[in-house]
Structure 1
Amino acid sequence: MSTDLPPPMTPPDCNLRGLPWMPLETGRLLDSDLFLLSTGDEFKAAVALWCKSWNQIPGGSLPSDERLLEALSGSRSWKKVRDMAMRGWVKCSDGRLYHPVIADLAVQAWDGRQVHMEGVDAKKSRQQRWREQLKELSARLRDVGVTPPANPTKAELEHLIALHVDGHVDAQPSTKASRSPSTRDATEMANKGEGQGERQGELIPPVPDGTAPPPGVSSHGASPGGGAGKRSSAEAARPDDVPEKVWQDYLALRKKHRAPLTDTALDGIAREAATARITLTRALEVCCEAGWRGFNAGWYAKRIGDDRGPSGGHGQPRSNAGRHSGFTHEHSDYYDQGVPDDGSIPA
């Protein structure tokens, strides 16, 4: 390479391969000396070299070898057309030929391509970060025995984290998650069995004093037949967490069946709702939708197509269902211990 020659007119890494077009300034071309002075063969060879230079590296350049130039031009009479076809081309210090107009267009195209590729790389980075966040959120759910839904959004996973991990019981339960063990945890959960502090992949914490509630004690902390646990036979009052519209719809349904809604009957529905891991409001909505005067966790499992039975779970919280009975959040973890074994519904 000679130091007396001008520097290359395009960057050495200028790569325009894959671009299906090359800009053509028609006004400038029609006013050029080449267009006015060249023959058809000369003009054809000149345009062919412009186009071939576009996919050379660096883009906008040509080799200085005469045999290569003849091949790139496609001309059958290269010696006759060479001088006019090579009009404007300059040899630079890297030993290659550059045309100032073509080189300028190549630099513009290369700058645009770099900006585009930077945007593509940034998009890939964002997508990778998003996938990693979804993976981390899903892992947190699996750690507490909740199987994430298929193809979840980040918002759905964050909602489930708030509900099942952070313990935000006011969050609306999701019907897409499951409390059943994930496929990869199935073998591990089967080996643990029951009576080992876990059930269906869900941890059962001890009560504050380290003991379980006595077997004969009901949800209210008194024996099932004791006077302390009895309620009035008058019509039940609407719990604060049940919307007025849902309450009135259910009362109308009970009236249609000639079955007044007593506190005892409502307590039974709340227990079954806790077994099904849904809120009392949702249980009453299902009764209205299905025309049931009462609610049973087994019926509900069959209605939603869950063959795991009442204890299979659907990722629903149990704490809301116990609010009617005046339980604290601490006691609600043992709420379903008062559910009859036969799954019957109190009157």
Structure 2
Amino acid sequence: MTAPEPLTPADCDLKDFAFMPLDVSRLRDSELASNETPEACWAAVLLWSASWHQVPAASMPNDEMWIATQARYAIRGKIDKAWKDVRPGALRGWIECSDGRLYHPVVAEKARDAWKAKLEQRWRTECGRIKKHNDRHEGANVPKPTFEEWMSLGCPQGHPLFVPRDTGGNPEDKTGDNASKRQGEGQGQGDPTTSVPDGTGGMPPVKSPDQMTKDELWAAGKSLLAQAGTPEKQCGSIVGKLVADYTPEIVIEAVRAAVIERPADPIAYLKACCQHAAGQRKAPNKQEALEANNRAVADRLAAELAGAEQ
């Protein structure tokens, strides 16, 4: 019998989702709760929780030691003898899919919903960035893609947007005034009639971070900072300070990593990447960036409250 396809997308990553939905009525009335021992039920919940932060979410490796460890029935490399009695109930409902991993259908159902919500939020952020781009550039009319269009393009986010050339007025003045403004907003796009592919509505070809040029990565890095709430005028200064403190090569690789990871606090993430590359600290992770972002939000709210009281 052919193994079924994985129940969640291969890139389904919910590590930044601290909470896993739990359908109380569904669990209470399930065969697991009715027919299995309390020990098996608790082990099952631990496995669901462990799979929530695996990639793909709702899956886990088909490895006995790993599973027993997550269920708290292994210590110091040895599986507890009691595991053989608990295992059938703890693994109730899990199925092996074509990628060799085990998936739980109910957890996968919740994971797909959460993953779609996460992608929709990214799409709304990108639409907001496009709207801001159009507002800032006279004549720009980059269309906001529908969610389905955005998904079909590979979920592009933070890539340079097309800036129309102003053919009116003094060409020399326009070129000089807009040279710095175009940096990070479609730099190197060239003539729109030849560089922008048909059917994209003015959007450049989608590139992966590995395919981006140095200038495109600089633009993407500044865009990440802007999306996180950093004032536009400060984005270039922040990147410039990192270059001064480290090297352009280190900063470029840090930006490349940030474009891939999409951390909640890109400033903290970029600095941590540079420090790691320079041998000053361990590699950063999303949780650290998320905690830093939470602290920044708390500080900002406190400042706003203090200003209101005055």
**Shorter-chain TM-score: what band?**
0.3 to 0.5
So what's the TM-score if we normalise by structure 1?
0.37
So what's the TM-score if we normalise by structure 2?
0.41
Q: Which of structures 1 and 2 has the bigger CA Rg?
A: 1
